[in-house]
Amino acid sequence: MEIRLFKIDEITLLMESIHRIWAKNHILSVDEQLVRFMFYDNPNRKLLTDDDHLTFVGAWIDGKVVGLLGAMPFEFNDCGKKGLAITLANWIVDPDYRDSGAGLALLDFVQAFNPNIILAMGLSEEAARLYKLMRWSFIEDIPRWIGLNNKVLTIQAILNGNEQPLRYVDSLKVLEVDSSLRCFEIASLQEEEWEQFNNSFFAKGSIGIKRDFQFINWRYFKHPTFNYRKFVCKDSSGITGLLIVRIELIQSKYKIGRIVEFIAKNQDSAVKLANELVALDSEILFYDFYCYSSISSWGLEAIGFKRTFTSEEDLFMLPTRFQPIDYLNTKLMTAMYISDKQTYRLNHIADQLWYITKGDADQDRPN
């Protein structure tokens, strides 16, 4: 068995293997531009390999690809200290080779890079059982906040007229902010300004993928498919907050908003940024935001966002998948490997420090 990274000139083979082993006509089997964006154009690729390889691992037996594991490298931030983070995608082995040991060999290959953390997001129940058996840290459900931009139409269009799941959620309302702050949409981000904000504030008080200019610019400003709407908040000293949201068309006629970044330095900035969502587009039914941090959603909650509540009596508030609508699977299950060298530094209970969103992995991508 051979375990190695795919070469860049094997990208067609990789896409064909995803189609054959993972899922027929999966987006990564038909969109070469997206494959390159995720596993080659990533500016942190150099942390794992050279210009001749993708950051996608394959397992070969007798010259045949029998297993796959995508690995996206990023700089890891631990309250200002640097490290290596890797997020996973498409971990699978051909059913005919499940007893070959290829699955663990693929994962061992990634772990050999000695990352501080490995993040696997959006797990199926089957995959979740594997990560639990390996004793990875497990998050049953990444917290999700929802904000109703048009409650009546959301109930009609998404819940078939059943208002029960949203009975305690009101429509969003703008809050007045008495300050000199300015919030506005941007087409580009000024590197010096962002690095000043990130280094002096956000990086020092958070744990997760490093939100430096390199990451933000690649992930949201250079995406080959999605058009993200980007907003900054500023005062006389510079940037005080960032909001990034993607408008998604569902059922060919309705709009929803997917928030992927919400970072604010203080209460005023948080509310000022959140207000931008209310004015963004009156046709948006609702917004959602998946984030592990317990503090990053503060401004969203101030204007009316609620964290989703699930129980046996309230199985869901709003579905998360719409191609087609899936009322059963609303969880974003996540597993995380934390290296021995990092374990003593990281406290899962301190969730106000952890900042993990869908933008960290492959969860915010075309279906």
This prediction has a pTM of: 0.93
Q: Which residue has the tokens 């397992």?
A: 59
Structure tokens at 242: 């960032």
CB atoms under 10 Å from CB of 95, counted, come to: 8
Q: Which helix (H) or strand (E) holds 141?
A: none
For the segment 38-54, what is each residue's pLDDT rounded down to a tens digit?
Answer: 999 999 999 999 999 99
For the segment 246-298, what is each residue's pLDDT rounded down to a tens digit?
Answer: 999 988 889 999 999 999 999 999 999 999 999 999 999 999 999 988 788 99
Report residue 139: phi and psi, to 5°: -110, 110
Q: Which helix (H) or strand (E) holds 301?
A: helix 298-302
Q: Which residue has the tokens 């000139």?
A: 9
Per-residue pLDDT band for 350 (boundaries 50, 70, 90) equals low
Structure tokens at 151: 């409650």
Report residue 184: phi and psi, to 5°: -160, 160
Per-residue pLDDT band for 15 (boundaries 50, 70, 90) equals very high
Confidence at residue 348, expressed as pLDDT on a 0 to 100 scale:
59
CA distance 58 to 240: 43
DSSP symbol at 219 = I
**Alpha helices (H) along 4-147:** 11-17, 27-30, 32-39, 102-111, 125-133
Report residue 28: phi and psi, to 5°: -80, -5
**Alpha helices (H) along 210-284:** 213-216, 267-280
Positive or negative, the CA dihedral 54, 55, 56, 58 is: positive
Confidence at residue 329, expressed as pLDDT on a 0 to 100 scale:
66
* Domains of the chain with bracketed CATH: 2-115 (3.40.630.30), 144-330+347-360 (3.40.630.30)
Length of the chain as a residue count: 367
